[in-house]
Structures are given as C-alpha cells and as structure tokens.
C-alpha cells in the first residue's frame, strides 16, 4: 500500500471562463420581472434550499489515497422531492452544481411533474480511473450524502460520465443504510428496477421536441442538416432518433474533436467505426474538425449535447444554424442568447429540450413506489404526451406575449414554483 495522499481542492480546479450560475440567474430574473414577483419571493426562489459539500477519500488501485470533493445541492423541494443528476467531471465545482440544480427546479416545474430540483457532482477524471476506483468513489460519496437522499427527499439520476452502473452502486449503498429502496435513485438498469426507455429518454425526448418545433415553423425534419456536439448518452440517442426522422448529420463531435461531411455522416457506419476503434474520429469519408468549429458549421439545426457555456459572446455571431436545440444543460450564455435572438436564430431551451430524461425518471420512481413495471411503448407514449403539452404551452406563451421560447419556458416554470411557495407558506 502506498503512503501518498493527494488532495483535490477547489483551488486546484481550472478557472471557469463563464459562471454557469449567471445563466440561470439571468433567465430567472427575466421571468420574475414578467411575473412582477416581489423581492422576498425572488430571494426564496433563487436561494438553494440545502448545499452539502463532502470530502470523499478513496484508496486508489496503486495503494495511494486520493481525496475528492463532492457536492449535492438541493435547489428546491417545494413541488416535490428534489430531483437531478450526478456528474463526474474534472470541472465540477460549486457554481456549476448550483446552476444545474436550479435549472432542474425550472425543468421539473415546466413539464409539471411533482419534483423539485437538485444536482450532484464530484470533481474527478473518471476516464483516468478504474471501475473499482469508481465504485469505491461512488459508494463513499453515497454514504456521506445518504442522510439527505431518499425517495421523498432527493433522488439522483445519471448525468455526464455517470450511468446505470453508477446508479446501481448508489441504490445498493443507500439500501445498506436504509433497507431495500429502489426509488432512491433513477436511471438504474431495467433488471435492478430501472424503467424501460430511461436510457434513451433524454435524446429521444429532444427529438420529439425538435420534430414539434419543425412542424410549428413548417419546415421538414427529414433532410434537415444537423450538427451535434456530444455523442454520449444524450447525443448518441438523439442521433439515432433524429436519423429515424430522416435528419442528415453534417458534423458530430465529442471531447476528442469532431468529424464533418457535407454529404452527410452515415450513422450506422459511425456506430460500427466507434465499436471497432473506440472513437468517432477517423471515420472514412469525413474530415476532422475541432469541437469549437463544429458549432459554427452551416446547418439547419445545431444540437449542443455536451457541456454548458459553449455558445458565448465570442462565437454567437459566427453560428450559422437557423435553430438551436439545447440537449445539454445551460449551453448558451445570456450574451449569446441576445446576439442569436437579434439574428433571428430560434433556440429551443434546455429546460424543455432535455426534459425527457427527468420525465422518464419520474415514471421510474412511480413504478418503483408501486412495484410494477410499464412496457416501453407505454413509457414513450406517456413521455411524448408530457413533452408535447409542455411544448405547446411554451409556444403559446411565447407567441401570445411575443417573447423568446426560453423566457416563455422560465415564466411558466417560475410561476408554478412561486405559486407552490405561496400555497405552502414560509
Ligand atoms: P455523457 O457523459 O454520456 O456524454 C457527454 C458527451 O460530451 C461525450 O460524448 C463527451 O465526449 C462529450 N464532451 C465532453 N466534453 C466535451 C467538450 N469539451 N467538447 C465536446 N464534447 C465534449 O453525458 P450525457 O448524459 O450525454 O450529458 C450530456 C449533456 O446532457 C449534459 O449537459 C447533461 O447535463 C445533459 N443532460 C443529460 C441527461 C441524461 O439523462 N443523461 C438529462 C438531461 C440533460
């Protein structure tokens, strides 16, 4: 066993070019102004309910001890238990988790499911860790935050670099403290009480919403040129579903860079190439492109499905897409929003576009509490109903009040949470 102790501290993290909290605060302020909320209500709604920061010591495979920083932030529980993903990424810090937790409050309110908002994260590089190190990290983190989790308190789910296996470790560790509790976490494998359709729900849901938007503006989705940033859970499932609708991919990228083809990327060939080589880069018939340049290619629909703050004042003028569907959380800064709005680019906001994931997480929680299972067709049909209803509501609010879709979505969501705060009292 080695004797070195390596500690990850907040100071050691790379500086963030934009504070993602500015995005949620700005969008909240626009909605609060429209709703005429008083300053007490603004304070109540914008202040997180509970923030927990934990140090997570993990014995690495080489025998050394490393201390990671983990966070669980519950922004609101006023409409139901706090709900939101858990992210493993080197850039995780308190501002990022705070912003993502707040976005979850507005997302669950917008689609009108009985949850509040939360988010968790651990500052770590999961690609540099073994499976057993990740398991020890997840179990230690869960054991340190389990007191504030639970089916009626706070229910985590997958986010960047976490998956059904990580959710199973959380379920197992939580159950060791509290007894068998599958409803304590969603995004589990189906054989562990997960819901059919959950894994693809965010990408599939994004496709349903893009399809509705195209119908609304009278443009066909079949043949539309799409650029997709991020090819993980959300991006790859959105790609499959968009391809089924006949969309054509001109650029697809991930952390390692992007590929471009004016004639269109063949998805089946891409999945086969990825299975054979472990990466998307180098697919025959495509040209290499940087992740940043992908955002600026000529296309009809740009789908960011990776990190936040990727569309900012530095590149917004150069974006050539006519529509942006935000499958990622918080990909667009307020300055970029303003520039794109002025240029007539229509943005389908994140709290709507990627709400399919939390919607099916809600179905998973419901199934776990009732100890029954739904068929996948039923899951998909129920998700579609909820998403299309939210979409119509956002479109109606935007067109009747002559405001962008994002402001409409936030206005609907903030009004619902404010009403719940009022009814419950302080
Ligand atoms: P994931 O870890 O499965 O995939 C992330 C993808 O982004 C990978 O392809 C990765 O290579 C790529 N990526 C990472 N850094 C990048 C960079 N700097 N440039 C370009 N690509 C980069 O994560 P995911 O679950 O697909 O989440 C993606 C986004 O969707 C996140 O914003 C997340 O918060 C959001 N989201 C996820 C869910 C869900 O159900 N998983 C639900 C709602 C929202």
According to the model, what pLDDT value does residue 16 have?
58
Give the residue, by CA position, lying nearest to ligand 1 atom 15.
255
- How far apart are the CA of 201 and the centre of ligand 1, in A? 14
Contact present, 364 and 188 (Cβ < 8 Å): yes
Q: Is 160 exposed, middle or buried (0-12, 13-18, 19+ CB in 10 A)?
A: buried
- How far apart are the CA of 40 and the centre of ligand 1, in A? 35
> Phi and psi for 253 in degrees, rounded to 5?
-145, 165
According to the model, what pLDDT value does residue 11 have?
40
- In DSSP notation, 1-63 reads ----EEE--GGGSPPPSS-HHHHHHHHHHHHHHHHT--HHHHHHHHS-SEEEEEEEEEE-TTS
- How far apart are the CA of 232 and the centre of ligand 1, in A? 6
Domain regions of the chain by residue span: 49-192, 201-353
- Orientation angle between helical segments 267-277 and 233-244, nearest 10 degrees: 150
Mutational test site, ligand 1, from 113, 119, 166, 233, max ligand atoms within 8 Å of CB: 233
Residue 249: name the closest of 227, 270, 279 by CA: 227
The torsion angle over the Cα atoms of residues 246, 249, 255 and 256, rounded to 10 degrees, is 130
CATH number of the 49-192 domain: 3.40.50.10860
- 119 catalytic? Reply is yes
- The span from the CA of 13 to the CA of 107, in Å, is 28
- The span from the CA of 294 to the CA of 123, in Å, is 27
According to the model, what pLDDT value does residue 411 have?
98
- Look up residue 328 and give its DSSP letter: S
- The span from the CA of 213 to the CA of 208, in Å, is 9
The three-state (H, E, C) secondary structure of 224-247, written as one string: CEEEEECCCHHHHHHHHHHHHCCC
- The span from the CA of 141 to the CA of 23, in Å, is 28
The CA distances from residue 117 to 77, 80, 99, 108, 134, in Å, are 7, 9, 10, 7, 25
How far, in whole angstroms, is CA 89 from its chain's centroid?
A: 14
- In DSSP notation, 175-221 reads HHHHSS-GGG-SS--GGGTPPTTHHHHHHHHHHHHHHHHHHHHT--S
Give the residue, by CA position, lying nearest to ligand 1 atom 36.
328
According to the model, what pLDDT value does residue 18 have?
80
Mutational test site, ligand 1, from 23, 201, 234, max ligand atoms within 8 Å of CB: 234
Contact present, 68 and 58 (Cβ < 8 Å): yes
Q: Is 278 exposed, middle or buried (0-12, 13-18, 19+ CB in 10 A)?
A: exposed
Pick the CATH number of 201-353 from 3.40.605.10, 3.40.30.10, 3.40.50.720, 3.40.50.620: 3.40.50.720
- How far apart are the CA of 202 and the centre of ligand 1, in A? 11
Mutational test site, ligand 1, from 121, 188, 209, 230, max ligand atoms within 8 Å of CB: 230
- Tens of each residue's pLDDT in the chain, 426 residues: 333 344 444 444 455 568 899 999 999 999 999 999 999 999 999 999 999 999 999 999 999 999 999 999 999 999 999 999 999 999 999 999 999 999 999 999 999 999 999 999 999 999 999 999 999 999 999 999 999 999 999 999 999 999 999 999 999 999 999 999 999 999 999 999 999 999 999 999 999 999 999 999 999 999 999 999 999 999 999 999 999 999 999 999 999 999 999 999 999 999 999 999 999 999 999 999 999 999 999 999 999 999 999 999 999 999 999 999 999 999 999 999 999 999 999 999 999 999 999 999 999 999 999 999 999 999 999 999 999 999 999 999 999 999 999 999 999 999 999 999 999 997
According to the model, what pLDDT value does residue 3 have?
36
Give the residue, by CA position, lying nearest to ligand 1 atom 31.
328
- How far apart are the CA of 262 and the centre of ligand 1, in A? 24
Catalytic residue among 107, 119, 188, 196: 119
Give the residue, by CA position, lying nearest to ligand 1 atom 27.
160
Instruction: Kindly report the number of other CB atoms within 10 A of residue 222's CB atom.
Output: 9
- How far apart are the CA of 32 and the centre of ligand 1, in A? 29
* Nearest ligand 1 atom to alpha carbon 87: 34
Equal CATH topology for 49-192 and 201-353: yes
- How far apart are the CA of 231 and the centre of ligand 1, in A? 7
- The span from the CA of 395 to the CA of 50, in Å, is 33
According to the model, what pLDDT value does residue 98 have?
98
- The span from the CA of 379 to the CA of 279, in Å, is 31
- Cα angle 232, 410, 307 (rounded to 5 degrees) comes to 25
Give the residue, by CA position, lying nearest to ligand 1 atom 30.
328
Give the residue, by CA position, lying nearest to ligand 1 atom 22.
255
Q: Coil, helix or strand for 86?
A: strand
Give the residue, by CA position, lying nearest to ligand 1 atom 39.
159
Mutational test site, ligand 1, from 232, 353, 387, max ligand atoms within 8 Å of CB: 232
- Residues having CB closer than 6 A to ligand 1 are 85, 158-161, 202, 229-235, 253-255, 291, 305-307, 327-329, 354, 357
Contact present, 187 and 361 (Cβ < 8 Å): yes
According to the model, what pLDDT value does residue 17 have?
62
- How far apart are the CA of 400 and the centre of ligand 1, in A? 34
């Amino acid at each position: 066993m080695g004797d070195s102790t390596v500690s990850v501290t907040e100071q050691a993290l790379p500086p963030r070019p934009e504070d993602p909290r500015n995005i949620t605060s700005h969008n909240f302020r626009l909605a609060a102004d429209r709703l005429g909320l008083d300053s007490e209500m603004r304070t109540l709604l914008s202040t997180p309910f509970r923030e927990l920061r934990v140090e997570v010591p993990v014995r690495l495979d080489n025998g050394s001890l490393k201390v990671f920083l983990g966070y669980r932030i519950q922004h609101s529980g006023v409409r139901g238990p706090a709900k939101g993903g858990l992210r493993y990424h080197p850039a995780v810090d308190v501002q990022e988790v705070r912003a993502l937790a707040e976005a979850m409050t507005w997302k669950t309110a917008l689609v009108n499911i009985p949850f509040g908002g939360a988010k968790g994260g651990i500052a770590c590089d999961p690609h540099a860790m073994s499976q057993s190190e990740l398991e020890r990290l997840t179990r230690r983190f869960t054991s340190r935050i389990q007191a504030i989790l639970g089916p009626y308190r706070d229910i985590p789910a997958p986010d960047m670099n976490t998956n059904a296996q990580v959710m199973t470790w959380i379920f197992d560790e939580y159950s060791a403290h509290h007894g068998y509790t599958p409803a304590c976490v969603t995004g589990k494998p189906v054989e562990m009480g997960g819901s059919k359709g959950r894994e693809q729900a965010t990408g599939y849901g994004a496709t349903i919403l893009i399809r509705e938007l195209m119908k609304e503006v009278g443009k066909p989705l079949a043949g539309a040129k799409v650029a997709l940033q991020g090819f993980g859970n959300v991006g790859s499932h959105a790609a499959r579903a968009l391809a089924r609708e006949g969309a054509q991919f001109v650029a697809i990228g991930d952390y390692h860079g992007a590929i471009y083809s004016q004639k269109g990327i063949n998805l089946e060939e891409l999945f086969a190439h990825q299975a054979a080589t472990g990466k998307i880069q180098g697919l025959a018939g495509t040209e290499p492109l940087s992740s940043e340049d992908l955002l600026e290619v000529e296309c009809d629909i740009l789908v960011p499905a990776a990190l936040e703050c990727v569309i900012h004042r530095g590149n917004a003028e150069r974006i050539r897409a006519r529509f942006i569907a935000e499958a990622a959380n918080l990909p667009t800064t307020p300055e970029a929003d303003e520039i794109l709005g002025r240029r007539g680019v229509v943005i389908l906001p994140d709290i709507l576009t990627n709400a399919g994931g939390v919607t099916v997480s809600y179905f998973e929680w419901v199934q776990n509490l009732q100890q029954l299972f739904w068929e996948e067709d039923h899951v998909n049909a129920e998700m579609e109903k909820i998403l299309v209803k939210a979409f119509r509501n956002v479109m109606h609010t935007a067109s009747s009040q002559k405001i962008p879709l994002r402001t409409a979505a936030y206005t609907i969501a903030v009004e619902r949470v404010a009403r719940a705060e009022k009814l419950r009292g302080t």
